[in-house]
Amino acid sequence: MPALLRRLVFVLLCLGSFALPAQDSDSVPAAALSAATPAQALDQLDNRLDSLKAELKNKHPTTPLADLRNAALEVQDQARQLAGSLTPQMAALQAQLAVLGPPPAKGSPPEAPEVAAQRRQLDKAQVALDAQIKQAQLLSQSALQLAAQLTGLRNDEFQARLASRTASPFTHAFWADPVRTFPDDIVRLNRLDARSADAWRTAWQPPNQKPLLACLIGAALLLGVGRWLLDRLLLSLATRHVPDGHLRRSAMAVAVALTAVFTTGLAAQLVYVGLNWNDILDPDLDALARAVVRLVLFAAYVTGLGRALLSVRRPSWRLPALSDRAAQRLRPFPWLLGAAALLFGLIERISRTIGSSLPATVATRGLMALVISGLIGAAWLRLRRARPEQVAGAAVEPRPLWIGLLGAVAVLGVLVSWLGVATGYIALAFFVAVQMLWIGVIVASAYLLFHLLNDLIHTLLSPRGRGGQRLLATFDWPPHALDQAATLLAGASRVLLTVLALAIVLTPFGAGPGDLLASARRSFSGLKLGDLPIDPGSIFSALLVLLAGVFLLRMIKRWLREQLLPKSTMEPGMQDSIVTLLGYLGGLLVMVLTLAALHVNLTSITWIVSALSVGIGFGLQAIVQNFISGLILLVERPVKVGDWVSLGTVEGDIRRINVRATEIQLWDRSTVIVPNSQLITENVRNVTQPNALGRVHIKLPMPLDTDPGKVRSLVLDVLNAHPGTLATPAPYVQLANLDDGAMTFNCVAYVNSPRDANGVKSELLFETLERLRAARLPLIRTQLVRTLPPVAENDEHTG
């Protein structure tokens, strides 16, 4: 095999490991600490911390401060965990001493020898354990201070590096040093090449040859056929299981981005396994492969992300508002940026491995800054030229403000990077170029996740979808409440993603997400609101308790309302009162449990209670009065849901008794909100109390020559024949008056409910008039009819 091909294959082989970075040889493994006694673990952590301090004191210029800082944070975390593991043991010892009780007072009879010996043993163990806990806490604090010192040194080093200046590339002095050190760098590179060739020859010899060939063939198939099959599989799954709409589009975009990373990474893993089948790579080459694999995955993600967002082959899947022409023009740039990041990252890593000269490193970084910033600038120019063409072809929506700001930042970054290289500030130009690429990847990833989460939330919570309909049926929510919940969750997810993206972008140079999380944890650990500590873990637990409590409470209320109570003999109004009271008590219990999850005690909320007492005495007095009145209405039930009440000028049906007020529906279907206190303190006429009957009263004015017996018999037949009238009390007809040449008959019948009186009355009138006309019994004048107020069952007066 030619030497060039051998080197290219070896580079590919070195890309392929998903293993984590090699651990520092001086670090203390967690397994070793767990197997050691507390005293041994403390000694190991103390020695490790001393070695870090000595290494910092004798630091070589090439020593990475980030590794020292990570090691210090690891010691801090292990010491904190050790102190936490010893605390329960201290509590157990104190409990045992409490069982023994206090030692005998002076002059008292001595305790039993066995008890005294046990007390001495427990006291000795308590003293030793307390010393170990304090030592672990001291180690944790010392390691944290060392990490803070290293952070400051890193920031100073970073600022000094950015401010450093070399000769301009347009001068002879800039190129003189790389030319002078070039032979030495070539010698170091040849040594690495020789070691790589030896590793390749060893891997090509039996028994490593067959596994290597199998892994190479598998990687080639995965990169070729495997990616194509995975794309088709994801497309089929999305078509079958993802609803048609925005969610399918955003889900496929995310799948396209991840497919590139998955297939490339898995292929690299196969190649790495084949090459290192019997651990033939030496530590330096293995470390080189472990470092370069991150670059490969990053380059694959950049290309996959660009392919997902541009979606040149499937314009209907494209998330950004780009024309086909613009997407086609931008198509090569994700590949070029990924290849540039991979190439220059590989050169950077090889330079560190062989220890190349400083002039060569400076020249390489200058070239990398020019290439990356040049590609970003070229992409921006192509996009800018494609926009007028799009405007000429069709109407275009105005761009969001953040896109304009991002474009301005990109132009400024390109100018700063090129001017920095031209003026000799190559470190600054390199940093700006790398950060532009990193920020672009973060913004593109956040944009993709924005669409995915937004579409997922709106699809799951859509009132027209299957999941939304199940939620509506389970919690008895109106459709607009589900729309509002979807909008709220989508907005919250956008805020969280924006904060996370900004935190990653604004992370100091060289720090990672782990540093960010550790910094946030340390920042929140000391925050307090009065005597109440603000702990993110407690807040998250309280949110879980609140959500779970609300969910269970709604499920129980729904079960009572729809399954248990309807099978009882209780009235619907009583059932509704029980469910409402249970909701109040359950809500109070959920609030107490939530406060308990937040570790809130009475002393922490004393000022809240004091403020509420003052508010109740002034502005909240009416609200509290209505709340107490609502509880009285639910317990005593002078009125209930479904009753027909009359309160002053308000008359209608009670539809709902809330915490503060009661809703009464009038005859015209309008609703009046009445404060609960009025239903307690004022006179209320309840038309539909238990056993209340409705009464229909009809007055019939007849001439004096009418046969009263015939009229009485005819009307009684009509009243008794109607299915809505009651047999007990029986209908009756009375001759009420003889006046002005006429006789007046009072016709009375009872119905089951006052609500039925109007309907039955109308039907009786139609039937009575028809029967009177058929019997040739005329009325003396137009019939006067009125419905008297309903009475109780034992009420016999005619009103």
pLDDT in tens, 69-96: 778 888 888 888 888 888 888 888 888 8
What does the pLDDT average to over 272-281?
A: 73
311 within 8 A of 318, measured Cβ to Cβ: yes
Split at pLDDT 50, 70, 90, the class of 415 is: very high
Helices 283-310 and 426-460 cross at an angle (nearest 10°) of 60
The mean pLDDT value for 708-732 works out to 90
**DSSP category for residue 107:** T
- DSSP class of residue 725? B
Global confidence as pTM = 0.57
Q: How confident is the model at residue 391 (pLDDT cuts 50, 70, 90)?
A: very low
Of 32, 370, 4, 34, nearest to 169 by C-alpha is 370
Cα angle, residue 459 at apex, residues 456 and 460 outer, rounded to 5°: 85
- In 3D space, the residue among 152, 263, 274 whose CA is nearest the CA of residue 217 turns out to be 274
Query: Which range has highest mean pLDDT (461-465, 533-537, 623-627)?
Result: 461-465
Q: For residue 101, is it left (φ>0), alpha (ψ between -120 and 50) or beta?
A: left
pLDDT at site 13: 38
Which range among 194-208, 452-466, 485-499 shows the weakest confidence by mean pLDDT?
194-208
Question: Which DSSP category does 528 fall into?
Answer: E
Distance CA 130, CA 37 (A): 15
Average pLDDT for 175-197: 80
Residue 137 has pLDDT above 50, yes or no: yes
Answer yes or no: is pLDDT of 747 > 90.
yes
396-407: average pLDDT: 68
Query: In angstroms, how far apart are the furthest CA atoms of the chain?
Result: 142
* 787 has pLDDT over 60: no
Task: Report the distance separating Cα 376 and Cα 337, nearest Å.
Answer: 8
Tokens linked to 180: 């002078």
Sign of CA dihedral 453, 454, 455, 459: positive
Q: Which two tokens stand for residue 421?
A: 């290289």
* Range with lowest mean pLDDT among 5-19, 287-301, 313-327: 5-19
The rounded distance, in Å, linking the Cα atoms of 214 and 368 is 36
| CA pair distance 726, 748, nearest whole angstrom | 11
Query: Hey, what amino acid is at 629?
Result: S
Residue 14: what pLDDT? 39
Q: Who has greater pLDDT, 23 or 225? A: 225
pLDDT at residue 64, as a whole number: 66
pLDDT tens column, 472-489: 777 667 777 778 788 888
How many alpha carbons lie under 13 Å from residue 641 in its C-beta half-sphere?
19
User: d(Cα 449, Cα 302) in Å, to the nearest integer?
Assistant: 15
Average pLDDT in the chain: 77
pLDDT digits 0-9 by tens, 359-378 = 888 888 888 889 998 998 88
Map 344-405 to HEC letters: HHHHHHHHHHHCCCHHHHHHHHHHHHHHHHHHHHHHHHHHHHHHHHHHHHCCCCCCCHHHHH
Dihedrals phi, psi of 318, to nearest 5 degrees: -75, 125
pLDDT value for 294: 77
pLDDT band at 118 (very low <50, low <70, confident <90, very high): confident
By CB atoms closer than 10 A (0-12, 13-18, 19+), residue 86 is buried
Q: Which is more confidently placed, 769 or 505?
A: 769
The pLDDT score that the predictor gives to residue 749 is: 93
Write down the pLDDT at residue 620.
61
Residue 393: pLDDT above 60? no
- 134 pLDDT higher than 60: yes
The partner residues of 735 in beta bridges, in order of sequence, read 745
Sign for the pseudo-dihedral over CA of 158, 164, 168, 171: negative
| Weakest mean pLDDT among 404-408, 412-416, 431-435 | 404-408
Least confident of 214-223, 412-421, 464-473: 464-473
According to the model, what pLDDT value does residue 528 have? 60
Find the helix or strand (DSSP H, E) in which 791 lies.
strand 791-792
CA atoms within 13 A on the CB side of 121: 8
Higher-confidence residue of 518 and 667: namely 667
Q: 440 or 351: which carries more pLDDT confidence?
A: 440
What percent of the chain stands above pLDDT 90?
3
3-state class of 747 per DSSP?
A: strand
Q: What is the mean pLDDT of residues 544-557?
A: 84
Residue 706 identity: T
pLDDT at 266 over 70: yes
Token pair in block for residue 400? 């969001």
Pairing of strands 692-703, 650-657: unpaired
pLDDT in tens, 724-746: 898 888 899 998 888 777 888 99
Reading the block at residue 524, the tokens are: 């929140």
For residue range 39-61, what is the model confidence (pLDDT) as tens digits?
888 888 888 888 888 887 776 65
Using CA atoms, how far apart are residues 641 and 656, in angstroms rounded to an integer?
Answer: 6
215 pLDDT band, cuts 50/70/90, is confident
What's the pLDDT score for residue 789? 45
Distance of alpha carbon 143 from alpha carbon 50, whole angstroms: 10
Model confidence over 337-363: pLDDT tens digits? 888 888 888 888 888 777 777 788 888
* SS3 (DSSP) at 109: coil
Our CA dihedral for 111, 114, 116, 122, rounded to 10 degrees, sits at -140
- Which two structure tokens, joined as six digits, stand for 658? 């809330």
pLDDT at 304 (0 to 100): 87
Average pLDDT of the segment spanning 125-141: 86
Between 697 and 640, name the one with better pLDDT: 697
Length of the chain (residues): 799
Q: Are residues 360 and 185 in contact, defined by beta-carbon separation less than 8 angstroms?
A: yes
pLDDT digits (tens, 9 = 90+) for 570-615: 666 667 767 877 887 888 888 888 887 877 765 555 556 666 666 6
